[in-house]
Structure 1
Amino acid sequence: MNSITCRNRHCPKCQGNAARRWLEARQADLLPVEYYHIVFTLPAAISAIAWYNKRVVYGLLFDIAADTLRTIAGDPRHLGAQIGATLVLHTWGSALTHHPHVHGIVPGGGLSPDGERWIACRPGFFLPVRVLSRLFRRRFLEALADSHRRGQLQFFGEYAALADPSVFAQWLAPLRGCEWFVYAKRPFAGPEAVLAYLSRYTHRVAISNQRLLAVDEHGVTFRWKDYREKGRTRYKTMTLEAGEFMRRFLLHVLPGGFHRIRHYGLIANPVRRASLAKVRELLHVTPESEPPSREPVVALRAVFICRHCGAPMIVIDILQRTAPIRAPPMQARP
C-alpha cells in the first residue's frame, strides 16, 4: 500500500511526476551543442551561518554563481559571448549534512555581443575553473558583507557575536584567502545525456526512499557515500537516532516560495523563446527539422518500487483519504 501523494516538494515520493513534467518542457529548449556541468560550492564556514539565513545566502549563491559565469564568458579573453545557464540548488551532503551548492548546466557557447554570431567554446573546454573560483569568492564575500550592512542577516547561539560589524569583518577575513570549490565536468555526450542527468538532479531531495534500510529501536539506518574515499569502500551505511535523523532532514527544507531551479542569461524565462530561436537560426537548425523521437528521451524510474525485489509495483486500487479500509469479502462455505 502506498499513501496518496502529498505534493510537497521535499517529499521523496512526490517528485517523480514533477520531474517528468519539467523535463518534457526542457527537452524543447536543448540545442545541438556541447553542454557542461559546473558546480559552485560554499565553504563550511558560510554553510554554518546559511542555516539561519537560507533565503539570503541561497539567493546570493544563485545570483553570484550566475553572474560569475556570465562575466567570465563575456570577457573576450575567454569566450566573449552571452551565455545561458540552468542552476539547481542542493543543500545536502550524502550523510544529510548541510552542504549548500548549485549544479549548473551550461551550453558550450553563446551569442556574440551584437547577437549575430554563435561563438562556440573550444572542444572539451568551457571556462577556466581557477578564474571562476576567484571571481565567485570575491563577489560572494562582497555581497555577503553588503547584506550584513543592510541588516539582512541574523545570528544565534555560538554565532550571535557576528551581529557586530567588526566581529563579522574579522570572521570573513580568512575566507578571502582559502580555496573555494568550483568544479567543471567534461561535456555531456549529447542532449539526451543532458536530460538523463537533469532527471537525477532537478527534483532530488535530501534522501530517497531507496537509501533507507531500516527504522527500528536503534534509529534510522541508510546508505551514504563517503566522497573522501575511492572504489567500493566509499559506499557505507549510517544509523542515526530518530531525532537526529529528523533534524538533519529538516535542515534542507527551503523557505516558502523559494525557487530551487533558476534559468539565467539566454535561457532566462523572459527572453528564452526569442534567444533560442535566434541561436537555432544561427546554427541552421529549427525544432521542426529535428527528427521527432518516438520514445521519451529520459526514462525515469518507476514511482513505486518494491523494497524487497526492486521490481516496479502495479497500482491495483486507489483509496480516497476519507474512505474506510475494508477487508475483502469472505467466501461462503460450501
Structure 2
Amino acid sequence: MTRPQLEIADIFRHHGQQWRDTHQGHVSLSQLKVMSAIENCRTQVLGGHILRCQACEHTHISYNSCRNRHCPKCQASSAKRWLEARQAQLLPVDYYHLVFTLPKEVANLAYYNKSVMYGLLLKVAAETLLTIGGDVKRLGAKLGVTFVLHTWGSAMTHHPHVHGIVPGGGLSADGEHWVSCKSGFFLPVRVLSRLFRRLYLEKLYLAYQSNSLMFFGRDKPLEDEKLFAKWLNPLRKKEWVVYAKRPFAGPKAVFAYLSRYTHRVAISNSRLVKCDCNGVTFRCKNYRAKTASRYRTMTLDNDEFIRRFLLHTLPSGFHRIRHYGLIANTGCKQNLVKVRQLLNVIEVIPETKDLVEEKPIKQEPIFVCPECGGPMMINEILISQLKPRAPPMKLVN
C-alpha cells in the first residue's frame, strides 16, 4: 500500500507544536494525546521490527502503529476486524439506514458535554426506534439496531448525528413469529422525529436538574433554571431531522457499507490536497448542490484546520458503536438463533473432519516480500523510544 503524498500526521508535525504553544491552557489532555499518537504513528518513536525475505534477502523496516481511534492510518484494519465479527449477525432480510441529527442549538451545548449529550443521542435514538417499532399500530415487533456516532460534517464542523442500520422487521411480542415491514418502507419518519425530539429534551432537562451539564461562553447564562427552560421552549417546536434512506441492495452490502462509517475519522488522508504556509486545502462535499459535481475544495489556515480536527476528539472510554434491541450484547446470540429458526436460515458450521491433522489448514505468511512475494521473517526488534509512564504519586499530608 503506497503512502499518500500528504497525511494528517505531516500537518501535526509541521504545525502542531506552534498550535499547542498558541493555545496552551485551552487544550484538553485527550486532544494532546490524539496529536501525539498521530504524530508518532508508524515512526521510529513507537519502535517496530526489521523484516528480512528468506528468498531474495530483501530487508524492510516496519514501524508500529499508534492504534488510536482518531488516527486515519489505524482505522482500516480495525474496520476489517469489526466487519468480520459482524458477518455472523446478517439476516436474509432488507436492511434500512436511518440518521438522527441534533439541531444546531443543542449541538453547540453538546460540545462541552460530550459524554452526557452524545450518550443521550445514542440512547434516545435507540429508544425511539424500539418504541415505534414495538407499537402494534406500526410494526408491533422488537427490533435490532446498530448505531454509530458521527460528530462532523464534510467540512469538519461540529455536527453530531448517528447512523443506524436496522433489519426490516423483528420478533413478535410473544417471540414466536418474525414480523416483516412493508417492502421499501420501514417506519414513518415524521413520527420518529416527534418522539425523538420529545424524549431527548425530557432527558436533557433531567440531566440539567442532576447538575450533569456544564456551561461556558455564550451558554453561561443557561445555568439559571428559568433561562434554561426558556431556551428549551423553541426547541420543542423546531423540526428535528430524522432521515431514512432507501433499503440496501441485499444484506451483504449492509455491513460493508457500515464498516466505512464505524471507523471513519473527521477527515481521511485521501481527502487532503496540499498544505503550505497559506493553510490546508482538502476536498469536501457541498450538500446544497444537487448536481453530480458536489465535491469542491476548501482551504483553512493551519490553526483552524487543527482546531476543527480536534473538535471531534471523543471522551476516554466513550463507545461510539452500540447495539440495541435484538442484537444488544446481553442476548444477541440467543435472539439470533431464534430469528434464524423462524426464517429457516441454516447457520454454516465447519465440520470437525475438516479440522483433523490429515487436512491441515494452509496458513498464509503474515509478512510478504514486496520484491519477490516470498515470506518475510522478523530479523530484529526495534525498541520504542517512549519511556513507560510511572504510576501517579500519592500526595502525603
Q: Is 1:44 equivalent to 2:104 in the alignment?
A: yes
In 1, the alpha carbon distance for the partners of 2:85 and 2:339 equals 18
What residue is the counterpart of 1:208 in the other structure? 268
Once the 2 structures are TM-superposed, how far is the Cα of residue 316 of structure 1 from its aligned partner?
Answer: 12
Q: Is 1:239 equivalent to 2:239 in the alignment?
A: no
In 2, the alpha carbon distance for the partners of 1:144 and 1:115 equals 33
Q: Is 1:95 equivalent to 2:126 in the alignment?
A: no
Contact 2:280–2:301, Cα closer than 8 Å, also in 1: yes
Once the 2 structures are TM-superposed, how far is the Cα of residue 174 of structure 1 from its aligned partner?
Answer: 0.6
In 2, the alpha carbon distance for the partners of 1:178 and 1:248 equals 27
Q: Is 1:106 equivalent to 2:166 in the alignment?
A: yes
Q: Is 1:266 equivalent to 2:326 in the alignment?
A: yes
TM-score, length basis structure 2: 0.73
Once the 2 structures are TM-superposed, how far is the Cα of residue 321 of structure 1 from its aligned partner?
Answer: 6.0
In 1, the alpha carbon distance for the partners of 2:193 and 2:280 equals 37
Once the 2 structures are TM-superposed, how far is the Cα of residue 221 of structure 1 from its aligned partner?
Answer: 0.9
What residue is the counterpart of 1:24 in the other structure? 84
Q: Which of the pair has more CA radius of gyration? A: 2
Q: Is 1:287 equivalent to 2:347 in the alignment?
A: yes
Unaligned ranges ≥5, structure 1: 291-314, 324-334
Task: Find the partner of 2:208 among 148, 152, 158.
Answer: 148
In 1, the alpha carbon distance for the partners of 2:287 and 2:211 equals 37
Q: Is 1:125 equivalent to 2:185 in the alignment?
A: yes
What residue is the counterpart of 2:255 in the other structure? 195
What residue is the counterpart of 2:338 in the other structure? 278
In 2, the alpha carbon distance for the partners of 1:186 and 1:249 equals 31
Structure 2 counterpart of 1:281, one-letter code: Q
What residue is the counterpart of 2:196 in the other structure? 136
Contact 2:101–2:241, Cα closer than 8 Å, also in 1: yes
Structure 2 counterpart of 1:90, one-letter code: H
Q: 1:244-263 maps to which residues of 2 (within 5 A)?
A: 244-263=304-323
Once the 2 structures are TM-superposed, how far is the Cα of residue 62 of structure 1 from its aligned partner?
Answer: 0.4
In 2, the alpha carbon distance for the partners of 1:138 and 1:113 equals 25
For each residue in 1:11-48, what CA deviation from the matched residue of structure 2 results, as whole angstroms up to 9, or x when unmatched?
A: 00000010000000000110011100010000000010
Aligned residues: 299
Once the 2 structures are TM-superposed, how far is the Cα of residue 255 of structure 1 from its aligned partner?
Answer: 0.2
What is the SS of the residue equivalent to 2:89?
coil
In 1, the alpha carbon distance for the partners of 2:292 and 2:250 equals 29
What residue is the counterpart of 1:301 in the other structure? none
In 1, the alpha carbon distance for the partners of 2:114 and 2:79 equals 24
What residue is the counterpart of 2:23 in the other structure? none
Once the 2 structures are TM-superposed, how far is the Cα of residue 191 of structure 1 from its aligned partner?
Answer: 1.5
What residue is the counterpart of 1:15 in the other structure? 75
Contact 2:83–2:256, Cα closer than 8 Å, also in 1: no
Q: Is 1:183 equivalent to 2:227 in the alignment?
A: no
Task: Find the partner of 2:279 among 201, 206, 219.
Answer: 219
What residue is the counterpart of 2:233 in the other structure? 173
For each residue in 1:252-298, what CA deviation from the matched residue of structure 2 results, as whole angstroms up to 9, or x when unmatched?
A: 010000000000000000100000000000001121289xxxxxxxx
Structure 2 counterpart of 1:174, one-letter code: P
What residue is the counterpart of 1:297 in the other structure? none
Identity level (%): 63
Once the 2 structures are TM-superposed, how far is the Cα of residue 192 of structure 1 from its aligned partner?
Answer: 1.3
Q: Is 1:6 equivalent to 2:66 in the alignment?
A: yes
For each residue in 1:148-176, what CA deviation from the matched residue of structure 2 results, as whole angstroms up to 9, or x when unmatched?
A: 01100000011100111111111111111
Contact 2:147–2:322, Cα closer than 8 Å, also in 1: yes
CA RMSD, aligned part only?
1.9
TM-score, length basis structure 1: 0.86
Once the 2 structures are TM-superposed, how far is the Cα of residue 322 of structure 1 from its aligned partner?
Answer: 5.1
Q: Is 1:74 equivalent to 2:127 in the alignment?
A: no
Structure 1 counterpart of 2:101, one-letter code: T
Once the 2 structures are TM-superposed, how far is the Cα of residue 243 of structure 1 from its aligned partner?
Answer: 1.1
TM superposition outliers: structure 1 runs of 4+ over 2 Å? 1-4, 315-323
Once the 2 structures are TM-superposed, how far is the Cα of residue 200 of structure 1 from its aligned partner?
Answer: 1.4
